[in-house]
Amino acid sequence: MEWSLSPAAGPPSSLTFTTEFPEYFEALADVSFEALVAGLREIMPSANPTSQELLGVARAPGPLAVDGIVGGQTWAVLNRVAAMDDRPADQPVVRRGDRGRAVQRLQERLQSLDLLKLVDGDFGPITERAVVTAQQQYRGAGHLFRQQLNRNPWNDGSKGTFCMFQRFNRLNFLFRLVSQCCVPKPINPRAMCALVSPNCVPERNSDPMVCATAQRQVQAGRLISLRDPVGIRILELKGRWQLNGQAIEINNPAKNQGIWQVSRGGQRGVLRLLPGLTVDSATIRTGAQVARKVMVGVDVLVAEASSFK
């Protein structure tokens, strides 16, 4: 879960929490810039983002042809994702059957992306397959969206927040966390997190709890799997909430005066920071103060291992 205060400057009026993974928006960016903007406006209807803000480039690129031929557009993408560059004259169109320094430069980029092992200057079938894989993987603007995410003003709190962007708050890390914590060990379940680091980070609030819970289930002879569609949901706000000294049922939309609203299937929560709002008799001064009160959960499927024998 991640959070941001709004507005970014001056006294905050609201606090937004999100558990939404960035992969959904990466997929939209791969479709088109317009699809990405439409997805953002589902959350922030008045958003008017530019390509520079969302993708880090002045103009959204067109889709990359998946043909195994390396022309100007494929060179540009590989240079960007591999963080390498050359003069345009050193990057001519190359294809299967070509040899030489330009092919070597291509292979160096593919190797840096773990798509190719050998750099030999020979554009053979293995290099061609690696090129096709790269073109498939980077054919849209998803990789640009991903690289720009922590500088995106619509997601860094400057203009809003719509998905998580910290390194470990990604869908693949959730899968790794649960899968590694589901290997039964003859230990106290609470000690499991340290054994599977860095996929489980002991200093985080959620990782040790998720890992220990998964380990308890498998130690009890059960199988566990993440429910499809996979996601983390906001469950409730803990604590004793008051407005001007009067108790409020913060988790009851019909009685909380719109102070706490959860949307997008539990993946987004917005707290209005009204004057006089307190939690456990303390005035709210920081986002971390409230974050400790937010309970989240992930839906899983659990079955007795014996039923699959």
The dotted CATH code for 72-137 is 1.10.101
Residue 167 pLDDT exceeds 90:
no
pTM: predicted TM-score of the whole model, two decimal places: 0.81
Per-chain mean pLDDT for the chain? 91
pLDDT at 76 over 80: yes
Across residues 148-176, what is the average pLDDT? 89
Name the pLDDT band for 274 (thresholds 50, 70, 90).
Answer: very high
The 3-state secondary structure of the chain reads CEEEEECCCCCCCEEEEECCCCHHHHHHHHHCHHHHHHHHHHHCCCCCCCHHHHHCCCCCCCCCCCCCCECHHHHHHHHHHHCCCCCHHHCCCECCCCECHHHHHHHHHHHHCCCCCCCCCECCHHHHHHHHHHHHHCCCCHHHHHHHHHHCCCCCCCCCCCCCCCCCCCHHHHHHHHHHHCCCCCCCHHHHHHHCCCCCCCCCCCHHHHHHHHHHHHHCCEEEEECCCCCEEEEEECCCEEECCEECCCCCCCCCCCCEEEEHHHCEEEEECCCCEEECCEECCCHHHHHCCEEEEECEEEEEHHHHC
Residue 308 has pLDDT above 70, yes or no: no
CA nearest 130: which of 96, 158, 79, 181?
A: 96
What does the pLDDT look like over 199-220, one tens digit per residue? Answer: 888 888 788 988 999 999 999 9
63 compared with 107, residue with greater pLDDT:
107
Residue 145: pLDDT over 80: yes
Angle between the N-to-C axes of helices 101-112 and 125-137, in degrees from 0 to 180, rounded to the nearest 10: 50
Average pLDDT of the residues in 59-63: 85
Q: What are phi and psi of 112, to 5 degrees?
A: -65, -20
**Any idea what the Cα angle at residue 173 is, between residues 141 and 138, rounded to 5°?**
20
Q: Which sequence spans correspond to the domains of the chain?
A: 72-137, 171-230
Tell me: the pLDDT tens digits for 28-45? 999 999 999 999 999 999
Tally of residues, the chain: 309
Dmax (CA) of the chain: 78
Please give the span between the terminal C-alpha atoms of the chain, in angstroms, as a whole number.
Answer: 37
**pLDDT on residue 54:** 96
Q: Report which of residues 198 and 278 the model is more confident about.
A: 278
Q: What is the pLDDT of residue 309?
A: 60
**Nearest CA to 265 among 18, 15, 16, 5?**
18
Q: What is the per-residue pLDDT for 201? A: 86
Mean pLDDT of 133-162: 90
Residues above pLDDT 90, as percent of the chain: 64
The lowest-confidence range among 98-102, 226-230, 279-283 is 226-230
Mean pLDDT calculated for residue range 71-91? 84
pLDDT value at residue 108:
95
Greater model confidence, 123 or 160: 123
pLDDT of the residue at 198: 85
**Which residues have C-beta within 8 Å of that of residue 128, sequence separation ≥ 6?**
68, 95, 96
CA nearest neighbour of 264 among 25, 6, 5? 25
Give residue 83's pLDDT: 83
What pLDDT is recorded for position 229?
Answer: 82
pLDDT band at 285 (very low <50, low <70, confident <90, very high): confident
